[in-house]
Structure formats: structure tokens, C-alpha cells
Chains A and B, each alone.
Chain A
Amino acid sequence: MGRLINAEFRKILTTKMWWGLMIPTFIVALAMAWGVGALTSDIADDVYREDFIKSAGIGKDSVSFGVIALTRAINISTMFPLIFGALALSSELHRKTITTSFLTASSRPALLSAKAITYVLWGAIYGIVIVLGASLGTLAGSDSDILPEGGQWMLIALMGIVSTVLWTLLGLGVGALMGSPVASVIVLLIYAIIVGPVSEIVLTGFADGKPNIAGALPNGSANGLTGSTAADLIQKQIEELAQGKPISDRAVDTFQAAMRFAAGAPGAFALWASALIFIGWSMLFFVSGLARNQRRDIT
């Protein structure tokens, strides 16, 4: 297995695609976090300038709205590792290098497992790049008052890396199922950029803002990983501001929904539920993609 993983790493490192995709990944994460951070800071400025907020003695540093920049940037940047994963097997099928790969591997399951392990590692590498870009962008674009604390930051970063790994595997599975690099990349991009986000907003609109089917879809659950973490954090800080005054459950729900929407995860479930749902989706595509190639006639 070690030999085959080594071979997979060489396949990746001997062409330009890994850095050709990694550069835009970093730039998009950085720019998105920077922009959203600046925008959030402006809005926060306006809010805290209001007299009633001032009179309540609420300081600008009491709520870490900066997490929104972080999650938004992570969510959009995952489309690059998604493409990277989608090409893993489909380009081998397309270029027919899969023939030699199968001829030099002890078995198909061994080769496909080696690919899976390799792309989990590469997904993590992309995840670190994304988190780095998003963090730098958030730092650069946001008022220092609205930045989250280190621990909270780390939790969102960790969720971002988990989400990137799962997106990579989902891409690998779809590419393996479809067998065509162009078709699988187009289908995945249309879903991740257009169909997913739009359907989630529409579904959430009809669901009256509560967690709903949008959060159970692949894109919705993936965004929930980071978005719900951010929303939880802001929620806790607001509750602290209320200083023990009773807040109705309904108010909590409404606020959560609003924050998840702001963090780019409309209709999402709580962190743990989103994680389980997205792991399910990734595994569904990943396993069926590999199963398809277990039996495929290579002609």
C-alpha cells in the first residue's frame, strides 16, 4: 500500500495541476475573507454607533462578527479541492493511464484505496491552505474588535479542513462515477456555485428560516460544518450580553437561523448533525464511485 501511495504522490507532483489549483485557492480564500471582513466591519461600525446600543453599554468587541468572513471564505474556496478530487480518477480514465495503473497494482481495491488515502492527505493540505488564506484575509480586512479568539478561530479552522477533505473525496467519487473529467467538473461546479446555494436559499425561505432540507443537501451540510460553528459562537456571545435575562427558545432559534444565513449556511443543522450528514454524502459518492471502477471494463 505504501508503494501505491508513493506512486499516487508522484502522479500528483509530476504535473502542474496541484499548484495550478492551489494558487487560485489561496487567492480566493484571502480575497473573500478580506472583502467580507471589511464589509462586516463597516456594518458593525454603523450598528455600534447607534445610541441605544451605546446606552446599553455594549462594546464593539463583545461580538466576534469576524467569523462570518472566515466561514464564507472557506465555503467558497472548497470548490478548488473539489475539482482536484474530481480529476483524480476521471483524468486517469480519460487519458487511459488507468490501464498502466491497474497493471502495476496488486489489485484494484489496493489502487483505489491508495488513491483515497492520498487524496485525503491532499484534501487536508488544501484545507490548510484555505484556512491560512481565509485567516490572513480576515485579519487584514476586519476591525480587530470583531475578530474571534484563538480557540474559536482554531475550531472553525479545523471544521474548514474537515470540510475540504470531505469535498475532495466527494469530488473523487463523482469523477469516478462519471468517468469524464470535463463532465464531472462542470456538474460539480454548477451544483456547488449555482444550484446548491440558490436552492438552499429558496428552501430555507419556504421553511420559515428553520433548519430544513437545505441543510441536509451536500452543499448545505458542508456549509453547516463551518457556518453552524460560527453561528453557535455568535449566539453564545449574544447570550452573555443578555446577562442572564431569560431569552425565549423561539428567539434563540430565530437568531441561530439568521446567523447561519449570514455565515453562508442557510437552513443548516447544528454542527454535529451537519458533519454527519456531509460525511454521509461524501461517502455515498466516494464508495459508489470506487465500486463502479472495481468492476469497470478498461477497454
Chain B
Amino acid sequence: MHDGSGRIVVQNLTKHFGQVGAVQNLSFHVEPGSVTGFLGPNGAGKTTTLRMLLGLVTPTAGWATINGQPFNHLGNPGRVVGAVLEAQGFHPTRSARNHLRVYAAAMGIPDQRCDEVLHLVGLGEAAHRKAGGFSLGMKQRLALATALLGDPQVLVLDEPANGLDPEGIAWLRTFLRSFAGGGRTVLISSHLLAEVEQTIDQVVIISRGQTMYYGMLDDLRKSQQSRVIAQPSDPNKLVGALQEAGLSGATPTQDGKIAIPGVTVQQVGDVAAKAGVALYGVQEERADLEELFFRLTSGQYAAPQNPPQFGQLPPGAHGTPPGGYAAPVQLPQGAQPGGWNPQSGPVPQAPPPPQGYDQHQGYQGGQGGNA
């Protein structure tokens, strides 16, 4: 029925709700063995895209497949793809275990699997409690347990960190890395890059329903440029001296300093000494990913004040993220996501489950993180 590849393909996906274009001509694919972040501000169309992928919303145009098949041709979809979606409900008076038993029956898997996944997500103690009394974090864990019930090859998670405490987020990170490490596929959406930065290999950034960037996270990182912030006694003189030395592009910042892209601290120091300008402070700065993400998606809302260290830099003057839908960075066909070695075959070893909320500690952030 399906090819068992674990590949997700989204092609020219478009959805209009009445006059509102929620998603416009979105294309990307997710390879097995990788974790792909699906990023964009709230309202960018992430949830609608994931729901179209999962057959819950009918696309206006385009298509999406999992394992080479649209969702409703998967046969027993719960065994192929597990999903944690926002606003996925529970009956308030049904116990966590009974909730899982309902869907275990629908998928035709034995009840003991319900206990396994409850322990896996750290809800073993709460198995017989009613879901209506759960905290947001516990509900997220129960949703994840439901998604894992069918031992699926593909996981789709919509803002799974919402409501999770820091320990829960760290645990989820480790879990997703090991899940993908076993050759399976993870697609995870978030409106915060920092939240998933340590987990993902590949990233799709959308804004207003359109792709803004699609490619490896490492490539996005490399596209950043450093710059030097200097506080000279005479800014005009220093800028003039820099231009004479062939170092152009210096711009004043809000707090009276100047920012010079693509130079080193030594170069600025030498030029200032030669021109007889005193420097009261000089430092090198790198734009962080969050700032790049922000710039890629800031078209959606009026940009709030830029962080002070970037001052009045015109957009695009600093760093060269690929902009717009016209030229997304495409992951080459068959390219292996960097940072780790995908293996095929073995079932991923789940990290040890947190023992309830208060006891487990000492989880490290996901491996391969750069923090």
C-alpha cells in the first residue's frame, strides 16, 4: 500500500479558507532519519499544513504524501504516522489508560502497549487518572503517548513543547533525536527557533503561508556574517578612515557606536590607531539564528524594535539569508543531513523515561547542539 520509506513530501500545497489564503504553494520534503523543524510565527500556516498532511484538512491545491501515499491511502495510518497536534482533545472523564485503549483497539494493537507508552512518556503513575485533571504538560505527554501507540515510522508534532516544563523539553529533545537516529522521520513545528534549534537538522521556515527558507540548519548558520561594533571618539573620522582603507559598509548604531560588517577587531584597531581616533570599546558580534529567523519571518507583523546591538542596519546589510520564495535553498536530492549518521533498521532506543515530574534530573540537551 505504501512504500515504507518514511518520506514526507509536500508539493505545491495551498489552502484558502474563504478569502483568506492560509497556505500558499508550499513545497518541501522530509527524509527518514532526520528531524525537520517547521518554523514560522503564529498564524503562518504551520498547523494548517500539518493538518493537510494528515488528511484532516482538504487542500485547495497541491498534495502531500507520507511513504509515497496520501494519508487516507495508508491503510492503518496509526501504524505509519503518529501525530501530536494542537487542540487534540481528550474526554475529561476518561482515564489516560482508557483513552489509549480506545485507539489501541482502533489500530488493532494489544492493550499492553498502552502501559508501555504511558511509562515511556512518564505517565505510568497517572494511568488511571482522568485526563480532565491533567496539567497542560501531562496532556502533551498523553498526546505523545497516543502518537507513539502504533509504533509509527513517522512522527508529526505541532508545537509539542507548549506546556512542557524544561525537563520535559529536554527529555523530548533526547527522545526525538534517538527516534530519528533509528532511521525514522520527525517533523516538528514551532514558532520559536531556539526551542528546537538543538533538535533539528533541517529547517523549513514559513511566513504568511509561504516558504522563506528551506534547507539545512547548518547552511543557515554559515550564512551569517560577523561584524564589529566600535565606540570611537570621533565616529565620522573613523568611518572616513575605514573607507580609505577599503572597509566600507560601516553604519551608525542607535547608541552612537558604529557597526562594521566583515572585518576583524584587529583591522578596526589598526585603522583607528593610524587615523588617531581613540577607541573606547570594540567587540566582535555574530548574528544569532533567532535574529535570522526573525528577519525571515518579520514580514508577517510590524517588526518590533530591533535588538540594540544591530542598531539601524538596513535589512540585508548584515548576513545574507536567502530571501523570499523565489530562491529557497534546496536540499540536494539524497543529501544526508549533517551532524549524525542515519542508520536503517533498528528500532530507536528511547531514552530512559522521566520518573514522574519531580524526580528525574540530569538530562542533557540534545546531542549535536551548539549551545
Contacts and interface: CB of A to CB of B under 8 A. Distances in A.
Given A3-B105, A14-B102, A16-B93, A298 B88 contact: no
Interface in B43-68: 47-48, 51, 54-58
Q: Among the interface residues B58, B74, B77, B92, which one has the most CB atoms of the partner chain A within 10 A?
A: B77
A7 B100 CA distance: 10
B106 A97 contact: no
A299 B86 CA distance: 9
Given A14-B94, A99-B85, A295-B58, A108 B105 contact: no
Contacts of A11: 91, 102
A98 B87 CA distance: 11
Contacts of A97: 89-91
Contacts, number: 88
A299 B146 contact: no
Contacts of A297: 17, 51, 56-58
A10 B57 contact: no
Contacts of A107: 72
Sorting the interface of chain A by its residue count into under 10, 10 to 19, 20 to 34 or 35 or more gives 20 to 34
A104 B101 contact: no
B107 interface: yes
Interface in A75-118: 91, 95-108
A100 B103 contact: yes
Contacts of A7: 102-103, 105-106
B57 A298 contact: yes
Nearest to A101: B106
B57 A3 contact: no
A96 B51 CA distance: 13
A96 B146 CA distance: 14
A102 B102 CA distance: 13
Main secondary structure, interface of A, reads: helix
Nearest to A105: B106
B108 interface: yes
Given A14-B95, A297-B57, A297-B58, A103 B78 contact: yes
Nearest to A13: B98
Contact of B105 (A10, A98, A100, A102): A10
B83 interface: yes
A15 B93 contact: yes
A288 interface: no
A6 interface: yes
Nearest to A9: B105
Contacts of B236: none
A106 B54 contact: no
B55 to A, nearest CB: 7
Interface of B: 17, 47-48, 51, 54-58, 72, 74-78, 81, 83, 85, 87-95, 98-99, 101-103, 105-108, 146, 150
User: 5 tightest CB-CB pairs across the interface, nearest first?
Assistant: A96-B89, A7-B106, A14-B98, A104-B78, A7-B105
5 contacts: A10-B98, A11-B102, A15-B94, A95-B90, A297-B56
Interface of A: 3-4, 6-7, 10-11, 14-16, 91, 95-108, 295, 297-299
